[in-house]
């Protein structure tokens, strides 16, 4: 007997390969429908409010379809009260990285999940305090020259092994959040919506990132 593949449960409103690879770890079926929204902050907007607003806008822009949920995600980097978005060019990326070197900043990711009726979105917000190592300007320049910093908020990726800008040994929080998709927060929201993860999310995340997460149990224990 030939079994037809299960129809997608989720529509991911993102073109990010990092979000795609993380979402696949949970075992949910999903389709991709990247959403383009204006990501400029509004006057006086907090990092949390901005992330939620943009995640909702992305989810609303994605087609749910019968029985399908739309997932929007937005990640905001905040350093000393200022939001750092994706750099516009190599010079801006270099400036961001030099500013963050040896300092701590916050990474805020909001998730918004909408059902087919677009009513009562499920919202999750994850905040991680990120310690950066004291890399040199030359190290940052070599990384920027590779081009990968331009599509990332704050101009870096925690998963970029060649540069390794984050002092992971001093990190106490969600690694996947800094990549752009806090998996345990997503698993918690999907469980509330009646779609628990088919996979062991903490184990899959640890295997994928190599990070021994100290916070997953407390996240999954909570109901909201």
Q: Greater confidence, 36 or 154?
A: 154
Has residue 5 been placed in a domain?
Answer: no
pLDDT over 80 (residue 27): yes
Q: Greater confidence, 140 or 118?
A: 140
Has residue 2 been placed in a domain?
Answer: no
CB 189 within 8 A of CB 153: no
Has residue 62 been placed in a domain?
Answer: yes
- Residues recognised as catalytic: 74
3-state secondary structure of 23: helix
Has residue 99 been placed in a domain?
Answer: yes
Has residue 4 been placed in a domain?
Answer: no
Q: What confidence category does residue 84 fall into, taking pLDDT thresholds of 50, 70 and 90?
A: very high
Has residue 36 been placed in a domain?
Answer: yes
Structural domains counted in the chain: 1
Crossing angle for the helix pair 90-100 and 137-145, nearest 10 degrees?
A: 140
Q: What confidence category does residue 67 fall into, taking pLDDT thresholds of 50, 70 and 90?
A: confident
Has residue 3 been placed in a domain?
Answer: no
| pTM of the shown model | 0.93
N-terminal to C-terminal alpha carbon distance within the chain: 42
Q: For residue range 101-112, what is the model confidence (pLDDT) as tens digits?
A: 999 999 999 999
pLDDT at 4: 54
Tally the residues of the chain: 224
User: Distance between CA atoms of 190 and 196, rounded to whole angstroms?
Assistant: 6
pLDDT at 119: 73
CATH number of the CATH domain containing 92: 3.90.950.10
Q: What confidence category does residue 97 fall into, taking pLDDT thresholds of 50, 70 and 90?
A: very high
Q: For residue range 50-59, what is the model confidence (pLDDT) as tens digits?
A: 999 999 999 9
Domain ranges, residue 194: 10-221
Has residue 111 been placed in a domain?
Answer: yes
Q: What confidence category does residue 218 fall into, taking pLDDT thresholds of 50, 70 and 90?
A: very high
User: Distance between CA atoms of 66 and 45, rounded to whole angstroms?
Assistant: 35
pLDDT over 80 (residue 33): yes
């Amino acid at each position: 007997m030939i079994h037809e593949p299960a129809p997608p449960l989720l529509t991911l409103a993102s073109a990010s390969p990092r979000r795609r690879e993380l979402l696949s770890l949970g075992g949910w079926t999903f389709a991709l429908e990247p959403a383009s929204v204006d990501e400029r902050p509004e006057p006086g907007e907090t990092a949390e409010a901005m992330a939620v607003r943009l995640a909702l806008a992305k989810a609303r822009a994605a087609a749910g379809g019968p029985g399908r949920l739309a997932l929007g995600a937005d990640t905001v980097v905040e350093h000393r009260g200022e939001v750092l978005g994706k750099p516009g060019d190599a010079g801006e990326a270099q400036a961001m990285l030099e500013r963050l070197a040896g300092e701590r900043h916050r990474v805020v990711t909001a998730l918004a999940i909408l059902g087919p009726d677009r009513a009562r979105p499920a919202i999750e917000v994850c905040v991680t305090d990120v310690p950066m190592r004291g890399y040199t300007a030359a190290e940052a320049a070599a990384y920027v020259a590779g081009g990968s910093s331009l599509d990332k908020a704050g101009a870096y990726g925690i998963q970029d092994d060649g540069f390794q800008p984050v002092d992971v040994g001093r990190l106490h929080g969600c690694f996947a959040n800094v990549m752009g998709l806090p998996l345990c927060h997503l698993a918690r929201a999907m469980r509330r919506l009646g779609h628990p993860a088919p996979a062991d999310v903490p184990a899959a995340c640890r295997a994928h990132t190599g990070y021994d997460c100290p916070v997953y149990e407390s996240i999954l224990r909570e109901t909201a």
